[in-house]
């Protein structure tokens, strides 16, 4: 197959330029309003997802455990992010960073997963009452844990593969 | 054609599709997309169902989550970029993920994503990127190795470890990486096509 360059029609630009619609700033304000209206529902969902991840079953393989943890934590990042629960979002993001690294490194050590999950629970239950220093310590410890495991399980060299 | 936050925009007739394994991700996108004025928003948590839809209907914007039921979203983007329907093959694809290491981002770019968006997706992040991509007349590349938008990268200096050849090249030692993850601006810098000017 030879290399081919071409300019496709900009269909999105064309349809967006049609008469009607609304100013972009109004669209932005409307989207934010719609998100606010759903906040209660998203908070309920978040609570359910935090419970779910705590009950996460042990999977047959380490890879499956990391993948499941990453997926469930991703939902928590989404829901905590849109409901303004920053510490819950950050702890879940830390789990994803850890799990994705371990997946990529094809590592089999799932021992730290419960530590991350418990931190998510703690952040969700007590985050609003934590001091800034306590929150920072919690996150820093998770990052430290990830650093240790990243040093222990380096990623395979893609170029060498 | 260019759009910005002061532009008037009409998204009523745009068709948008989102594919994610998680219903939560799709639920969060729904009010956001509806708020922008989009009326035709298709959501799929099953990749095979989404592929059937993509084979039969044109879309203007495609969202692909990193987590899809068949594995990761990279394969789905590659499939879109080689799909039989020309309109969808060249549609803007927004890749959404919670974890953008530089390696993950390179994979999204190499799969043919137009944009990478880090979770949680917010109106403030999404709309300016939709406006930006709608204002582009992108060149597409099709080759054995890559199908997707052509990218002329922003010039950010000579490759690390080289002296560079330009008078304006900055020299110096690179420090250790402060963090493995990239923020949204850095992600944009890697994926945005930059206009080149002559003279």
pLDDT digits (tens, 9 = 90+) for A7-58: 999 999 999 999 988 999 999 999 999 999 999 999 999 999 999 999 988 7
Name the nearest CA neighbour of A74 among A55, A91, A54, A57.
A91
Does residue A94 sit within a domain? yes
In terms of residue numbers, what domain contains A102? Answer: 42-155
Q: What pLDDT score does B181 carry?
A: 66
Per residue in A50-70, pLDDT (tens digit) is: 999 999 887 789 999 999 999
- Chain B hits for A24, CB-CB cut-off 8 Å, are 3-9, 127, 131
Q: What pLDDT score does B105 carry?
A: 87
What total number of domains does chain A contain?
1
- Mean pLDDT, to the nearest integer, of A100-119? 94
Does residue A10 sit within a domain? no
Does residue A110 sit within a domain? yes
Q: How many whole angstroms separate alpha carbon A63 and alpha carbon B119?
A: 23
Q: What is the largest CA-CA distance in chain A?
A: 61
DSSP 8-class letter at A127: G
Name the nearest CA neighbour of A31 among B131, B124, B109, B5.
B124
Q: How many whole angstroms separate alpha carbon A53 and alpha carbon B65?
A: 20
Per residue in B101-129, pLDDT (tens digit) is: 888 889 999 999 999 999 999 999 999 99
Grouping H, G, I as helix, E, B as strand and the rest as coil, residue A4 is strand
- Mean pLDDT, to the nearest integer, of A140-148? 96
Asked if B11 and A20 come within 8 Å (Cβ–Cβ), the reply is no
Q: What pLDDT score does B173 carry?
A: 58
Q: Which residues, in sequence order, are bridge partners of residue B93?
A: B62
Asked if B25 and A74 come within 8 Å (Cβ–Cβ), the reply is yes
A131 touches chain B (CB under 8 A): no
If you compute the radius of gyration of chain A from its CA atoms, what whole number of angstroms results?
21
CATH number for the domain harbouring residue A116: 1.20.120
Does residue A46 sit within a domain? yes
Does residue A95 sit within a domain? yes
Per residue in B40-55, pLDDT (tens digit) is: 999 999 999 999 999 9
Per-residue pLDDT of chain B (199 residues; tens, 9 = 90+): 778 888 888 999 999 999 999 999 999 999 999 999 999 999 999 999 999 999 999 999 999 999 998 878 999 999 999 998 889 999 999 999 998 788 888 999 999 999 999 999 999 999 999 999 998 888 899 999 999 998 764 455 555 666 665 555 555 555 665 556 666 776 666 665 554 444 3
Does residue A32 sit within a domain? no
pTM as predicted: 0.84
A43 touches chain B (CB under 8 A): no
Does residue A13 sit within a domain? no
Crossing angle between the packed helical segments A113-126 and A86-104, to the nearest 10 degrees = 170
Grouping H, G, I as helix, E, B as strand and the rest as coil, residue A11 is helix
CA dist list (Å): A109 to A59, A63, A93? 13, 10, 19
% of chain A exceeding 90 in pLDDT: 86
Cα-to-chain-centroid distance, residue A135 = 18
Does residue A66 sit within a domain? yes
Give A 53-82 residues with CB within 8 A of chain B: 70-71, 73-75, 77-82
Crossing angle between the packed helical segments B184-191 and B102-111, to the nearest 10 degrees = 40
Whether A96 has a pLDDT exceeding 70, the answer reads: yes
């Amino acid at each position: 197959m030879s290399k081919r360059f071409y300019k496709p029609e900009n269909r999105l630009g064309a349809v967006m330029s049609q008469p009607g619609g609304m100013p972009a700033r109004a669209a932005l304000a409307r989207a934010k309003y719609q998100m606010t209206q759903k906040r209660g529902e998203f908070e309920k969902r978040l609570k359910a997802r935090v419970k779910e991840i705590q009950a996460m079953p042990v999977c047959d393989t380490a890879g499956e455990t990391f993948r499941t943890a990453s997926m469930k934590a991703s939902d928590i990042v989404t829901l905590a992010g849109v409901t303004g629960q920053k510490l819950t979002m950050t702890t879940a993001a830390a789990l994803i960073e850890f799990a994705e690294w371990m997946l990529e490194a094809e590592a089999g050590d799932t021992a730290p997963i419960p530590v991350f999950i418990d931190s998510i629970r703690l952040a969700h239950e007590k985050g609003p009452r934590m001091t800034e220093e306590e929150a920072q310590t919690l996150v820093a410890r998770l990052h430290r844990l990830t650093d240790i495991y990243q040093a222990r399980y380096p990623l395979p060299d893609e170029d060498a593969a | 054609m260019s759009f910005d936050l002061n532009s008037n925009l009409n998204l009523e007739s745009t068709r948008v599709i989102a594919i994610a394994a998680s219903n939560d991700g799709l639920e969060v996108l729904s009010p956001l997309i509806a708020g922008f004025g989009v009326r035709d928003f298709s959501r799929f948590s099953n990749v095979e169902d989404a592929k059937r839809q993509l084979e039969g209907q044109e879309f203007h914007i495609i969202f692909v989550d990193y987590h899809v039921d068949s594995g990761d979203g990279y394969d789905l983007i590659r499939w879109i970029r080689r799909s039989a329907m020309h309109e969808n093959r060249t549609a803007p694809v927004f890749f959404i993920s919670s974890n953008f290491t530089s390696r993950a981002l390179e994979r999204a770019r190499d799969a043919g994503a137009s944009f990478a968006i880090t979770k949680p997706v917010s109106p403030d992040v999404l709309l300016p990127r939709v406006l930006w991509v709608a204002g582009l007349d992108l060149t597409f590349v099709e080759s054995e190795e890559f199908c997707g938008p052509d990218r002329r990268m922003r010039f950010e200096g000579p490759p690390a470890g080289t002296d560079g050849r330009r008078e304006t090249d900055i020299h110096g030692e690179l420090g250790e990486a402060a963090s493995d993850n990239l923020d949204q601006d850095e992600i944009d810098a890697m994926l945005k096509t930059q206009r080149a000017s002559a003279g």
